[in-house]
């Protein structure tokens, strides 16, 4: 029974991982409701009122849980190890140099008690999907940018390949939700390329037609255009002559393409 004032005492009826179901013996629901039920429905009302009163005099008290802010530095640490591992010069660096770089990256206060953890990570194949998901969802844009800049600083060493390191850092940046301006500008300045048009559509367009017409319709359109642009009807102008040749060549090519005779 819990200690305290008399009316605050309770009896633990059921204890679970989520909390405790407790019964307050000094609450009055279990006394009042049976009397009301007895007056209304005799014995059955008394029993029903007693059960409802007992239920009302019980309470579920959830256990207090510690709320901790997610430690993004662990995710940052995993990204740092991933970048180092993906660099061809990582194995040539002495251990003290690696520790020095991580001290500059996340601070000696954070790294020193986690040296064994860092060593175990360096001998594992790091999968950073979960870490990047956590950073993408919980870190601010300023923290994400700081991470990328810190990874670049850590990657600056004569034994480390700058090109390989930058490629890996870019990969991390994309996974945590950063868009690089260089790639974005390339996409924005990329010239528009129209979709390819098939040969039949081009030939029909020169006759003023669309796909799906039959031979007779195409033939009538050709004769009409040939009559319209015939040089004899246009004083042998160069424009009409060029248009007449284009229509004639389109009709002949269309006949060959479609197998029309």
* CATH architecture for segment(s) 199-258: Orthogonal Bundle (1.10)
- In this prediction, residue 6 carries a pLDDT of 45
In angstroms, the CA 28 to CA 151 distance is: 66
Beta bridge partners of 20: 15, 61
The pLDDT confidence band at residue 48, using thresholds 50, 70 and 90, is very high
Beta bridge partners of 58: 23
Domain boundaries, the chain: 6-62, 72-180, 199-258
Residue 58 to residues 12, 24, 25, 46, 92, Cα–Cα distance (Å): 10, 6, 9, 19, 67
Q: Which residue did the predictor score with more confidence, 51 or 1?
A: 51
Largest CA distance in the chain: 119
Cβ(165)–Cβ(157) under 8 Å? no
In angstroms, the CA 84 to CA 154 distance is: 9
Average pLDDT, the chain: 80
Strands lying side by side in the sheet with 58-62: 11-15, 19-23, 58-62
In angstroms, the CA 113 to CA 103 distance is: 11
| Distance from chain centroid for Cα 143 | 18
| Distance from chain centroid for Cα 16 | 37
Residue 8 to residues 5, 23, 46, 67, 163, Cα–Cα distance (Å): 5, 11, 26, 27, 69
Cβ(47)–Cβ(37) under 8 Å? yes
The pLDDT confidence band at residue 69, using thresholds 50, 70 and 90, is very low
Give per-residue pLDDT as tens, 92-106.
778 888 888 888 888
In angstroms, the CA 154 to CA 168 distance is: 13
Give per-residue pLDDT as tens, 195-241.
565 788 888 888 888 888 888 998 999 999 888 888 888 888 888 88
Q: What is the pTM of this model?
A: 0.43
In angstroms, the CA 19 to CA 15 distance is: 6
- In this prediction, residue 128 carries a pLDDT of 80
């Amino acid at each position: 029974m819990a200690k305290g004032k008399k009316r605050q005492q309770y009896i633990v009826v059921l204890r679970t991982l989520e909390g405790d179901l407790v019964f307050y013996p000094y609450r009055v629901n279990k006394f009042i409701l049976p009397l009301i039920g007895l007056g209304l429905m005799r014995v059955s009302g008394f029993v029903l009122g007693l059960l409802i009163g007992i239920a009302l005099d019980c309470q579920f008290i959830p256990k207090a849980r510690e709320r901790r802010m997610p430690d993004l530095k662990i995710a940052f640490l995993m990204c740092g190890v991933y970048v180092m591992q993906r660099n061809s010069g990582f194995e040539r660096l002495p251990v003290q140099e690696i520790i020095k770089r991580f001290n500059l990256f996340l601070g000696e206060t954070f790294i020193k008690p986690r040296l064994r953890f860092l060593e175990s990570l360096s001998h594992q194949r790091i999968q950073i999907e979960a870490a990047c998901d956590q950073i993408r969802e919980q870190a601010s844009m300023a923290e994400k940018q700081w991470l990328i800049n810190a990874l670049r600083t850590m990657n600056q060493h004569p034994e480390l390949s700058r090109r390989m390191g930058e490629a890996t850092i870019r990969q991390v940046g994309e996974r945590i939700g950063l868009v690089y301006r260089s790639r974005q500008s390339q996409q924005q300045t990329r010239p528009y390329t129209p979709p390819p048009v098939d040969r039949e559509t081009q030939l029909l367009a020169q006759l003023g037609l669309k796909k799906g017409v039959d031979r007779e319709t195409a033939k009538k359109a050709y004769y009409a255009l040939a009559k319209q642009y015939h040089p004899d009807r246009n004083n042998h102008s160069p424009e009409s002559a060029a248009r007449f040749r284009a229509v004639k060549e389109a009709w002949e090519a269309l006949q060959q393409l479609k197998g029309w005779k």
